[in-house]
Structure 1
Amino acid sequence: MNSDIWPEEDEKHYGRNEYWTIPTDGLGDCDDYALTKRKDLIDAGFPMPALRLAVVYSPQSGRHAVLTVKTDKGDLVLDNLRDDILPWNATGFTWIERQAASDPMRWTSLQPVMTADLRTAANATQGTPQASTGQQIPAVSSAKNGL
């Protein structure tokens, strides 16, 4: 999938800052890659609740969208900036928010900073990025409709 879409920012492509969509013309940004990967995996039979979009901070590219896949080995990350699939705690990302497990139209704020101590603890306990207590961020906006 990473080679099927040519990178192009929404401002240049659609004339607006954020537009989350499954591209039909082969052009898109990180959220478009993530949405397309999610659709393809659902079409292949993966359960929708196991596939959640996340917003992270990447030291290389700044604010960035990825797809997380919940497996029996923990949450894995599908990212358009790399072809390998990594556990969430091996990406080097700072996790900002992710679709809520119970409702994909809601977003859950994740731990805002992954310090060295937290990274050590996360590596010791395989699994899922933890949400801040009860903080929910609605997903419905003009930029995220259709998720």
Structure 2
Amino acid sequence: MLTRTAALMAQLATVNAEVNRLPYQSDATRYGRPDFWTDIEAAGGGDCEDYALAKRRRLLASGWPPSAVRLATCWTEREEYHAVLTVDLQGPEGPETWVLDNRYGRVQAAADLIRMGYRWDRRQAATGRGWVQIKT
């Protein structure tokens, strides 16, 4: 597991901010269907999972290990189903999960989002190709 450093957190903040500047457009509007996962940068616009895919692609391209950079789904405080990118780092007190979310301008601690009303559902497995239920 990567150790949290100021440089890694700055990189996460940069990726989050740059991708979040891309235009939001729902899958229903763009593709005429309720859900379609694609890279927002390639499509020129998209919704939550498209932002998460672009952020993941950027981090993996810069050398982050796939086990640390995983897509996740949750319900927001407004009961909307949502996709984000999670990043696992080793902090001074132990493992930490950080979230790159198109709803927020800054990288959030997963624990803070839970306090704000997020309820986690599933996340890509750290190894292999599956998804796992998140237990909170």
- The TM-score range, normalised by the shorter chain, is 0.7 to 0.9
Query: Higher strand fraction: Structure 1 or Structure 2?
Result: 1
In 1: Cα distance, 2:110 partner to 2:90 partner: 13
What TM-score, normalized to structure 2? 0.76
Candidates 39, 50, 53, aligned match of 1:35 = 53
Deviation at 1:61, TM superposition (A): 6.1
Aligned residues: 110
| Greater relative CO, 1 or 2 (CA 8 Å, sep 6+) | 2
The gaps in structure 2 that reach 5 residues or longer are 1-18
Q: Is the 8 A contact 2:123 2:133 kept in 1?
A: yes
State the identity %. 36
Candidates 71, 76, 79, aligned match of 1:58 = 76
The gaps in structure 1 that reach 5 residues or longer are 112-129, 131-147
Deviation at 1:16, TM superposition (A): 1.5
In 2: Cα distance, 1:25 partner to 1:81 partner: 19
What TM-score, normalized to structure 1? 0.70
In 2: Cα distance, 1:86 partner to 1:27 partner: 23
Runs (4+) off by over 3 Å:
none
1:89 equivalenced with 2:89 (yes/no)? no
In 2: Cα distance, 1:69 partner to 1:15 partner: 31
